[in-house]
Amino acid sequence: MAGLVVAMDGPSGSGKSSASRGVARALGLRYLDTGAMYRAITWWMLQGEVDLTDPAAIAVRASEPALSMGTDPDAPTVAVDGVDAAGPIRTAEVTAAVSAVSAVPEVRRRLVAEQREIIGAGDIVVEGRDIGTVVAPEAPVKIYLTASAEARALRRTAELTGTTVEAQKAAMARRDTLDSTRKTDPLAKAADAVELDTTALNLEEVIAEVLRLIKEKV
């Protein structure tokens, strides 16, 4: 497994985070949640009252916040300017705004460069929306997770504060459209990725299937 990079892509609520952490733990690998990086930038801009309806305003500030990402799958961390942001980045306010921020090319260029730096020589499971297509296109294992709208909404409601299943259905449909149609690094399945529908699977079953796929590939 030395130098292994596992790219786990898919929309929100598909089970990427829990499965990625479980796989990393099982294989003794590091873990990176790239979505948390976009959320962290979004949270910082909301705190700074940046106009998130103005891509130019976002672009001007994109390089300012200092991010620090912990890659321990048992205790992943995210800090912005030295402040623990693990909780604040999971609010409904951040969720509603993150697609607008992540669509700005200057934000994506900055974070993709940082993600590649963290990946380095490998030994890591990386989850996001453009890992297999943009961040690590040479990853030997690429998996694209999907699930029904109902299952995804239920999972995301359990993860976030101040929201409901119906609200999450609507929010995720909107975000899916925004993420898959943005001009820069849209959400997409890599041509050589294996698609895994997690709707009817529990977490242990998803992890087991991903581990099986890794064994096949490596």
How many domains does the chain contain in total? 1
Percent of all residues in the chain with a pLDDT value above 70, rounded to a whole number: 99
Bridge partner residues of 126 (DSSP): 7, 32
**Which residue in this structure is represented by tokens 């921020």?**
101
> How many CB atoms are closer than 10 A to CB 193?
21
Q: Does the pLDDT at position 2 exceed 80?
A: no
Structural domain range at position 90: 5-217
Q: Does the pLDDT at position 213 exceed 70?
A: yes
- Residue 1: predicted pLDDT: 64
Query: Mean pLDDT of all residues in the chain?
Result: 93
Q: Which two tokens stand for residue 154?
A: 């239920």
- Residue numbers belonging to the annotated binding site: 10-18
CA distance 7 to 138: 9
Q: Does the pLDDT at position 99 exceed 80?
A: yes
Q: Does the pLDDT at position 201 exceed 70?
A: yes
- Residue numbers belonging to the annotated binding site for ATP: 10-18
CA distance 45 to 67: 13
CATH of the domain at 58: 3.40.50.300
Helix (H) / strand (E) containing 68: strand 67-69
